[in-house]
Structure 1
Amino acid sequence: MTAPSLTPSTIDVLPAGSVLTGYQITGLIGQGGFGVVYVGRDTQSGRTVAIKEFLPTAIAGRASDGRIAPRSADFANAFATGLKGFLREANLLAEFAHPALVAVHRAWEQNGTAYMAMQYYPGKTLREVRLRAATSPTEAQIQSWLAPVFEAVSELHAHRVIHRDISPDNILVMPDGATVLLDLGAARQVLGGMTQALTTILKPGFAPIEQYVEDGSMEQGRWTDVYGLGAVIYFLGTGRPPTPATSRIVRDSMPPLHEAAPAAGYSPALLTSVGRALSIRAIDRFKSMAEFRASLGWIKQPRVVAQAAEVTSTATPLATAQRVSLTAPLAPPAAAPAAAPVADQAGKADLRGKGSNYPPSSGGSGKWVALAVVAVLVAVGAWFVLR
């Protein structure tokens, strides 16, 4: 998170000097379709923080008084649902204290929207680091960057939380080489199902096929994040994302990593593991981060677990039953795969799975035929447009 001087490109960005509850904005870190991230100062402690503001620009904007409001009454329900997802994500993240997972200090509602104050990380995204490099990173370098991220994702999974937005844009590399995994995909996924095409919500190349299916027939789970991390390794090796999953259904022409980056000299273990992690069918991928990591041959290093940060929020607390369903320990794995996981109302996968840690068969042959037909129609339509 670098912090250049604040030069607003739209009226939706709060100007430098703006005061929020307990914080003062001093700069702009970045702006996207779902929010703005500022650099700010805690007015009590004086520490520098990153402040994320919920602002889905497709359906909401800032009024002259600084408040955020839906652009029309038609978007009111979508905005309210997305706002709850944003606060829910902040509460979830605040429960964790992993050094490779973004630390959330506080969440609150103000100006008709919501904010979360996070630790400020003076780093660059993994995408920036890779694109600036002249050659592919070594296998040792990839392990140094991503091993802590594997641990962070494993900790999320242990508490029944699926990240679902793992990509080089969501991994920061600090000046000392340490890495930090950023946002969950909570609010983005909620809004994506209510307001616009999923292709504008997901990151092509890093999202597996089950994230493109909106009817819930293809469950998301640990295997979804396995695909995302496999895609990140592929990107690091080649300098480009994998072929989007929707294109690979019809004809999987994506070159394997050993062909896409022949000079990188990666080990057979890494090449084979990435290929399996990027399997189109969830059933063909690794069933956990531990299995993926073991296949790579990366040895897990012990760490000291810090006490989780306490979140302070003026929002209505999550229902107890809802929080328990996300944080209770998983049941021991059964000897054979059992019932498939069920997605909860906010789009975060519930991993209880009746004792099973393995993905379902991804909807059966009928679902795959339907997806293939859709992909063919999209490709044909694009051909006619570009003639």
Structure 2
Amino acid sequence: MSPEIRSQFPILEQTINGKPLVYFDNAATAQKPLAVLDASRAYYTELNSNVHRGVHYLSRKATDAHEHAREVVAAHFNAPHTHELIFTSGTTDGINLAADTLALSGRIKPGDRVLISGLEHHSNIVPWQMLCQQTGAELDVIPVTDSGEWDLSNIDSLITEKTKIIALNHVSNALGTINPVETVIPKAKAAGALVLLDGAQSAPHMKVDVQALGCDFYVFSGHKTYAPTGIGALWGKEEILNSLPPWRGGGEMIKEVTFEKTTYNDLPFKYEAGTPNIEGAISLAAALQWMQQVGLDTIANHEHELLVQATAAIQEIEGVKIYGTSEHKAGVLSFGIEGIHHYDLGTLIDNMGIAVRTGHHCCQPLMARFGITGTTRASFAIYNTAEEVDTFITALKKAAMMLR
């Protein structure tokens, strides 16, 4: 990691309890580079106006910037058409949009099956449980191995002609496992099932090509890709989005309204009721362009080097158990230390200036699979350094000695 990249993140210059901040909570949210902060400020100081509805100069300029942002985001994921890209408030919002419209569409019948995995975030569990409650469908789950990977030994019996939707995370937020979606998606297509990929943890760490993946929906959050909170996107295939009903009613998602009948707008506006997060969309585009300039391969390789370094070093600590030992991982290290509660560990190293995440990571079924209540999770980004990993390991050793 070059000092030039690090210098673009002013928040990292601060100290915590007199210690330089070591920010290893990137799987929860990433920090924002100057390019994104500048884009956000520029919107409010130069363009601030509502979009799509005004004929005045600022409204036209804001509309142009907002729709250009849509083009940037769609191109980043190699979407076939820009209008297939729906701005949302994040991954959770995108999954709920897909699940709710599928439930409303009548495509899911009693006795149909919905398939998820045991690695899922609650945001990719609860909406599908709600769909099942609404439609009479039933939920199936791909089990998880001791190494934190999908157990695909019975996948052919889990995907049948009754399977209508398969919703899977591309990368596990809790363990960092990069899941073999390329194995499951062709089986789904052969059975006629739709596939939604939760890209909250893949979008920040790797190149994503929705056409090459072959999925039907892809959702992600901006705040994990160096953009602000409250913005994200759902990409969906045009023919599927056109076949599904609107989700929220209001302004912009309509063509004509009378008291007798409403005619709905075309994509993407059909699913974007109300005033959008204009600044968020513009800043999201700036974040993805910044990632492209740095290089997605550069980001992935740097995070992998930090993961390898941290994984080797942490095993020197007595009583450490790593959760998620797949050979294919993003920059996430999830672990426990025997006899020490993860909350106590996280609190103590926070006093040493190190930010990590503790708890179940919104993956309670996964934690139950391993017989634990949670883990301590360190997650890496392009601005983190090898020296910070050393500081982290030193702090863990000190904390473990104090807490035993």
TM-score range, shorter chain: under 0.3
TM-score, normalising length from structure 2? Answer: 0.25
Structure with greater contact order relative to length (CA < 8 Å, sep ≥ 6): 2
